[in-house]
Structure 1
Amino acid sequence: MRIDDQPFIGSEALTAGLVGKYDLRKSYRAIFPDVYLAPRVDPTLARRARAAWLWSHREGVIAGLTASALHGAKWIDDSLPIELIWPNARPPKGMRTYDYRLFADEYAEHDGMSVTTPARTAFDIGRLHRPGEAVARLDALGNAVALSVEDVIHLAARHRGARNLRRLEAALDRHDPGAESPQETWLRLLLVDAGFPRPQTQIPVFGPNGRARYYLDMGWEELKIAVEYDGEHHRLDRPSYRKDIVRLEYLNSIKWMVIRVVAGDRPDEIARRVRSAYDARLR
């Protein structure tokens, strides 16, 4: 048992003689009941997930956004509650428990813990979050792992009585693993809701040597129209800013129209700009 940089069960550490009662109380902090962590160690989502699993007597299954983060999905805040499939209606603060039915092939070992598979993780995320957020969370998971929509649909057929299956189906229909940020998901959904054909994501643009030189966030390759979301780093990071200038010059030279969107742009104005470019290319 390690008690240096990982959570541990206090009562087990006492029995094993790894720590005394006084030291346990004074030198460690309780993350969950009887689960401790050294105060100098950052309580990351992964460490808190392990603490929650230990609290469940090593029998719970890490699920939801916590599982998604462990599978490598980005944009998941370290401070979010740990989600655990475990029949306890009164979990401690910082944890959410669900008494869900699980089949044996819907979870697997991950770093010694039980964690829902990507398909089962997607099944839960798509049902438990509001429509726009559910799509963004599914996009992030699909961007990190090979997520099969067919596998999720097959899994949903097993759980016909589960809540919010229609919400899941709608989120899966709008899911695209090519989105590399929640802002890109938001922008793609905005375009679809504005009546544009569903844009392709991560469009490769080839250089003179025939190799992919750049990738465009989204757009319509046949019309050579791209729509991209520019984060703050594009403007504040000088090397990135210079690369953006060279990139845009090359795209313009091969007749790509690039509509750039930044935080604060109004949805109706974005749609108007894209419509102007779209109609111009259709003439």
Structure 2
Amino acid sequence: MSDVILGGEALAAGVVTRHDLRMNYTVLYRGVYLSKRSAASLRHRAIGAWLATGRRGVVAGVAAASLHGAPWVDPSTPIEVVGANCRPQEGLIPRTERVAEDEITRRSGLPVTTRVRTAFDLARHLERGEALERLDALMWNQRFDVDQVMALAGRYPRARGLRQVRELLPLVDGGAASPRESRLRLCLHDAGLPRPETQIPVVDGSRPVAFLDMGWREFMVAVEYDGDHHRKDRAQYVKDIARLRMLEERGWIVIRVIAEEHPHDWLARVCTALAGRGCPVGAPVVRRRAA
């Protein structure tokens, strides 16, 4: 028997009793239950959301991205469904939008929006910065065709958020190794700086000795996000310092960005470094929405 069940259906079939539901199951959504033997994974919650739509909905959005293999998705993220009418409830977001048959695939036994349709929805429905984070993560896992995503804008000319779709899709880069790196790249774009390359290999002969988060090979300037774990872990910190010295000895200027920094501060350092290497840049412009 499945760990996720429709309570009324299971009772009618005689596979559980009301006592079983009370003692051995927890409520996922209205009328949908999860066995207490299992922790509520995103897949469990996606199955539950699909059942809550009467098996008519299609899993979409961030949950669909996760089922396609995209990283950095919290298991408790709300499940979005399209293609079915149902009432919203905690943890379940129904979207009354049309979804074509060629925009549906199956993952983990569930109907899920295709990678292309998922990208289209992420670009439209999320806040600008998070949208780029999710698109990068989806591309990091496996490439999707940006032109095909753009084509959906023609299929759905009245869909909300098309302006953001057209703005963000050219910026998608599967080389972002964390959501924070996507945000940094968006800040660089908004400041009017040249588009950086991601995951730049630094080689010794033909052997890569390091990969830089993002930067400009021509000017040998790089930008890297310094996560909290790097500073709190003493051994990792020592390795980071040795790596930084190695990169500087090879001629790289590495701008390290910490979470607490305001974009204006680290962008100013990037502009100074690029200008010093001959890149024609002006003073950094920080848009409020990119901060």
TM-score, normalized by the shorter chain, greater than 0.5? yes
Q: Is there any run of 5+ residues in structure 2 with no aligned partner, and where?
A: 280-291
Aligned partner letter, 2:34:
L
Count residues with an aligned counterpart: 279
Counterpart of 1:103 in structure 2 is: 100
Deviation at 1:12, TM superposition (A): 3.4
Does residue 72 of the first structure (1) align with residue 78 of the second (2)? Answer: no
For the pair 1:142 / 2:149, whether they are aligned, the reply is: no
| Distance (whole Å) between structure 2 residues aligned to residue 185 and residue 93 of structure 1 | 29
Separation of aligned partners in 1, 2:190 and 2:274: 15
Partner of 2:179: 182
| Letter of the structure 1 residue corresponding to residue 173 of structure 2 | D
- Tell me, in whole angstroms, the C-alpha distance in 2 between the residues paired with 1:30 and 1:131: 33
Kept in 2, the 8 Å contact 1:56–1:86? The answer is no
Mapped pair 1:242 → 2:242: no
Q: Give me the whole-angstrom Cα distance separating, in 1, the residues matched to 2:84 and 2:5.
A: 22
Q: Percent identical across equivalent pairs? A: 47
Q: Which amino acid aligns with 1:214?
A: A
Are 1:118 and 1:145, in contact at CA under 8 Å, matched by a contact in 2?
Answer: no
* Residue of structure 1 equivalent to 2:220: 224
Which of the numbers 129, 147, 151 marks the counterpart of 2:148?
151
Is the counterpart of residue 130 in structure 1 residue 130 in structure 2? Answer: no
Matched residue SS, 1:67: helix
SS in structure 2 of the partner of residue 282 of structure 1: coil
Instruction: Determine if the alignment matches structure 1 residue 114 to structure 2 residue 124.
Output: no
Matched, 1:272 2:268: yes
For residues 10-21 of structure 1, what are the structure 2 equivalents within 5 Å? 10-21=7-18
The C-alpha deviation readout for 1:206-254, integer Å capped at 9, x for no partner, is 123x122211011101111111011011112233223223322221221
1:94-137 CA-to-partner distances (Å, cap 9, x unmatched) read 21111211111111011110000111001111111222222122
Correspondence 1:191 to 2:184: no
CA distance, structure 2, for counterparts of residue 16 and residue 214 of structure 1? 59
* Residue of 201, 204, 217 corresponding to 2:201: 204
Between the aligned partners of 2:189 and 2:218, the Cα distance in structure 1 is: 17
Show the counterpart of 2:284: none
Q: Is there any run of 5+ residues in structure 1 with no aligned partner, and where?
A: none
- After the TM superposition, which parts of structure 1 deviate over 4 Å for at least 4 consecutive aligned residues? none
Give 1:91 deviation, angstroms: 2.7
Tell me, in whole angstroms, the C-alpha distance in 2 between the residues paired with 1:190 and 1:32: 39
Select between 193-202 and 115-124 the one with higher mean Cα deviation. Answer: 193-202
Question: How far is the alpha carbon of 1:16 from its aligned partner?
Answer: 4.2
Instruction: Check whether the contact 1:85–1:97 (CA below 8 A) recurs between aligned residues.
Output: yes
CA distance in 2, matches of 1:30, 1:269: 48
